[in-house]
Amino acid sequence: MQANNNFETVLLKYTNNKSYLTHQELISLKSQFDSEQAFFDALLKWVSEYAIAPVSQFKVAALAIEGGGEGRLFFGANLEFSHQALSLVVHAEQSAIHNALLHGVDAIEKLVINASPCGYCRQFINEIQLDKQPLINVHGVEKTIQQYLPDAFGPSDLDNQAPLFSQSLTPCSDLNKYVKQSYAPYSGNFSACQIQNVNGHKYFGVYLENAAYSPSLSPLQAALNQVQLHNRESGLQGISEIVIKQTKGKANQIGVANAVVMSLGSNVKVTIEEV
């Protein structure tokens, strides 16, 4: 059975300024399909339209399914910036993992992707605590991160005893609390970002570091990605204010913030504070 036309209409209703599906919504939508994979494929196609990919034109979607807890399904999509270094892009897998973490998810059971994870994302996923690492589903074939990344370099190589997801975040609307809950075991630069749009909605992003450093997700990239995942039609348009807070003496977010903000246009007010 093909999904009926109702699928997209219902999805649009479920995702009004919301970047995930509740378990009930997931069950309801899945019931329109003959198999779970058919549901995943249809949903990946729909979520890929959140992608902003002016450089590659390659739209990647990822679905992070919460293990235990509330059984929610979190969206992820790639984000590229025109006329900026390619290293500033957010990959769909990073997007889905940050989205889940930000909403208090304790563990991701399964990560469903519409393309094989790139090396950068394999390294990012490897940052997750061993007993909480998700099964990775690509076109219905499921593998562990150890299969995708054998002989990996990870948190234990840097004596990090508390890898990603060893603690779940408490969702809130307080930037200072997000700074404290960010993941910076290597640099100590705990940092988070708050973005407000012209409608008064606030979006947050927390810094997520990586043992291999380069795949780290900056708080500004993470918060911009949240704006994108909450606003399917308008994307990053309508941003009015950006605030980044970071640990005094360990600051390293200014350069990346300035580079990203330049690509958004000049009407955005940016404040960077050290706490």
Residue in this structure with the two tokens 């790139």, named with its chain if needed:
118
Options 46-54, 104-112, 117-125, 180-188: segment touching Zn ion (CB under 5 A): 117-125
Calculate the alpha carbon distances from 212 to 99, 123, 168, 206, 218 in Å: 21, 7, 22, 18, 14
- Among the listed residues 25, 66, 80, 93, the single catalytic one is 93
C-alpha 45/C-alpha 267 separation (Å) is 33
Mark residue 213 as left, alpha or beta (left: phi above 0; alpha: psi -120 to 50; beta: remaining): left
Number of Cβ atoms within 10 Å of the Cβ of 173: 9
In the complex with Zn ion, the residue whose CB is nearer, 118 or 251, is 118
C-alpha 137/C-alpha 37 separation (Å) is 9
Amino acid residing at 178: Y
Query: Given strand 239-246, what is the order of strands in its sheet?
Result: 202-206, 191-197, 239-246, 269-274
Q: Is 98 a residue that touches Zn ion (CB under 5 A)?
A: no
- Cβ 46 to Zn ion shortest distance, Å: 20
Q: Is 268 a residue that touches Zn ion (CB under 5 A)?
A: no
What are the phi and psi torsion angles at 139 (to 5°)?
50, 35
Q: Is 118 a residue that touches Zn ion (CB under 5 A)?
A: yes
Options 84-92, 148-156, 173-181, 236-244: segment touching Zn ion (CB under 5 A): 84-92
C-alpha 239/C-alpha 73 separation (Å) is 26
Residue in this structure with the two tokens 């606030």, named with its chain if needed:
202
The distance from CA 61 to its chain's CA centroid, rounded to whole angstroms, is: 11
Task: Say if residues 169 and 190 touch (Cβ distance below 8 Å).
Answer: no
In the complex with Zn ion, the residue whose CB is nearer, 77 or 244, is 77
- Cβ 76 to Zn ion shortest distance, Å: 10
- Cβ 88 to Zn ion shortest distance, Å: 14
In the complex with Zn ion, the residue whose CB is nearer, 23 or 110, is 110
Amino acid residing at 192: A
70 flagged as catalytic: no
- Cβ 34 to Zn ion shortest distance, Å: 30
- Cβ 28 to Zn ion shortest distance, Å: 30
Q: Please, which residues bridge with residue 272 across strands?
A: 244
Size of the site for Zn ion (CB under 5 A): 4
Options 10-18, 47-55, 91-99, 143-151: segment touching Zn ion (CB under 5 A): 91-99
Q: Is 59 a residue that touches Zn ion (CB under 5 A)?
A: no
In the complex with Zn ion, the residue whose CB is nearer, 54 or 119, is 119
In the complex with Zn ion, the residue whose CB is nearer, 21 or 217, is 217
- Cβ 201 to Zn ion shortest distance, Å: 28
Q: Is 91 a residue that touches Zn ion (CB under 5 A)?
A: yes
In the list 100, 102, 121, 128, the residue contacting Zn ion (rule: CB under 5 A) is 121
Pairing between strand 202-206 and 141-143? unpaired
Binding mask 189-208 for Zn ion (x = CB under 5 A): --------------------
In the complex with Zn ion, the residue whose CB is nearer, 64 or 121, is 121
Task: Say if residues 155 and 215 touch (Cβ distance below 8 Å).
Answer: no
In the complex, the residues that contact Zn ion under the rule CB under 5 A are: 91, 118, 120-121
Active-site residue list = 93
